[in-house]
Amino acid sequence: MTAANRVMQSYGRCCASPNFFDTFYQHFLASSPAIRDKFTKTNMVAQKQLLRAGILNLVLYARGMSDTKLRALGQSHSREGLDIRPELYDLWLDSLLLAVKEHDKDADTDILAAWREVLGKGINLIKSFY
């Protein structure tokens, strides 16, 4: 199975696990004051739904989907927009992997490495718009 397909299956198990996105935001917000500052006025219920689709788009991009959606995310997160500094994506990915480890009972080191590889491609594209 390709890395992108293994990630897709792992993501399915994560989404089926209650509180996966809560766990992600707990880790992410705890990772830096710079992250917490960005979400002070955010409706986190809505944000979790947006992230659900955002992660799916990262996986679909690695499976060959057009880059249109990720380019739009790159623009919204750029310095003219939300101003998300590129190094904050490392904290984002580390937080996501912690959440995957806790919510996907099948997550082993291979699956976690697949997540890093697969999401890394789309994250690099988003960062390139900064």
Q: Which residues bind ligand HEM (CB under 6 A)?
A: 35, 38-39, 41-42, 47, 50-51, 54-55, 58, 73, 76-77, 82, 84, 88-89, 92, 123, 126
CA-based nearest residue to 115, from 4, 2, 1: 4
The two three-digit tokens of residue 51, written as one number: 């992230």
CB of 28 to ligand HEM, least distance (A): 8
Residue 2 or residue 76: which is nearer to ligand HEM going by CB? 76
CA-based nearest residue to 4, from 68, 74, 56: 56
CB atoms within 10 A of CB 80: 10
CB of 33 to ligand HEM, least distance (A): 11
Contact 91, 31 (CB under 8 A): yes
CB of 71 to ligand HEM, least distance (A): 11
CB of 107 to ligand HEM, least distance (A): 19
Type of residue numbered 35: I
Contact 58, 116 (CB under 8 A): no
Residue 58 or residue 107: which is nearer to ligand HEM going by CB? 58
Residue 44 or residue 113: which is nearer to ligand HEM going by CB? 44
Residue 19 or residue 32: which is nearer to ligand HEM going by CB? 32
CA-based nearest residue to 83, from 75, 91, 93: 75
